[in-house]
Amino acid sequence: GDMSTTGAATSTAGDDRRRALQAFDDTKAGVKGLVDAGVTAVPAIFHHPPDSLPLDAPPQPHHEHRFTIPVIDLAGLGTPSGRASVVGAVREAAETVGFFQVVNHGVPEAAMSEMLAAVRRFNEEPADARAPYYSRDHGRRVRYTSNFDLFQSPAANWRDSIYIDMAPEPPAPQEIPSALRGVAEEYARLARRLYRELLELLSEALALRPGHLEEDAACLDGLNLAAHYYPACPEPHLTVGTTRHSDPSFLTVLLQDDIGGLQVLVDNLEEEGKSSVWVDVPAVAGALVVNVGDYLQLVSNDRFKSVEHRVVANGAGPRVSVACFFRTYGAAASTRVLQPIVAGGDRARYKSATVEELLRHYRAKGLDGTSALDHFRL
């Protein structure tokens, strides 16, 4: 028989998918546009292969893990003994699960709820009000887009996002959509203040002086705010909100609403067989979720863990979350070299790399379920 037919069929399927992706992207209306058009079935470009879908994970009997993501109260920072115990809790979380929640963190509830409301407001405006902001150009400081890796990843996610590069150079106010203007800048200022505090705690957790990460590793110079909108999904079992991934950041501070869906892949420490389990990060009133990113795992020479996480698709919604990715941006990214801080008796586990090299690799790869750090491991 003609051997070339299979190749032709595959290429046609690939071409069809490419056309479908392009047609979706050209609407500039995102997943919200599909929902507004009344779709009752999830289009094929959003179908994930069964093995990567949450429901097809092996069933995990609930007695197997009683693991919860720790909640750390920062109110204790006022006293030396309180500070020591907070540092201990942060160290424990960063070295094991890479995730923790913080309360009494100094970001007022009002600023948090206003931020979530502003993200809803923007995404629920008429499509033609959102369209001018729709872009895949990383040179733009404000980018509304559905799936940053739409054309690279194996399957699209059921979410829309607006990315705003807030630091080192924030956009001019008129560049920010009116629904978010003023609110996003204020929230970013508060998140940055918390980040500075967390960097001190993480420095102390590595037995370094409090200013070490901020000054020497220059972890403070950039903030990308990513506001995600996950519409209710008609067939949540076929797709995901966000594919499993770890973050291209030093640290991520996440504000989430009360719908839930965020899950972290935790080594099952209680079982001999090294299976991992997906653990929910529950919505805790007033809390912010903090996680170690790839760059901090590199700089800490693997002491702190940048752990994979995902968001499951949901029949309820919309779910709204706002992630602040702290990392180097712009011109500095090409000169800022990250290198591991090697503790006595250890060796460097990573080669030195610039932030730009790390980020370029992350973007080229897309969300494919593998760690971007592997490429730089020694």
Strand-pairing partners, residue 59, are none
State the Cα–Cα distance between residues 77 and 195, nearest whole angstrom: 15
Tell me the CA distances in angstroms from 67 to 57, 96, 102, 293, one per residue in order: 18, 12, 17, 21
- Beta strand pairing call for 71-73 and 99-103: parallel
The domain limits of the chain are 71-376
Residues 203, 210: contact at Cβ < 8 Å? yes
Give the residues of the chain that fall short of pLDDT 50. 4, 56-64
Q: What is the pLDDT of residues 60-96, one digit of tens each?
A: 444 445 578 999 999 999 999 999 999 999 999 999 9
State the Cα–Cα distance between residues 218 and 212, nearest whole angstrom: 8
Q: What is the pLDDT of residue 56?
A: 41
CATH of domain 71-376: 2.60.120.330
Q: What is the pLDDT of residue 355?
A: 86
CB atoms within 10 A of CB 251: 25
Residues 352, 157: contact at Cβ < 8 Å? no
pTM score: 0.91
- Beta strand pairing call for 71-73 and 276-280: unpaired
Alpha helices in the chain (DSSP H): 4-26, 30-36, 80-96, 109-123, 127-130, 183-205, 212-215, 294-299, 332-335, 355-365
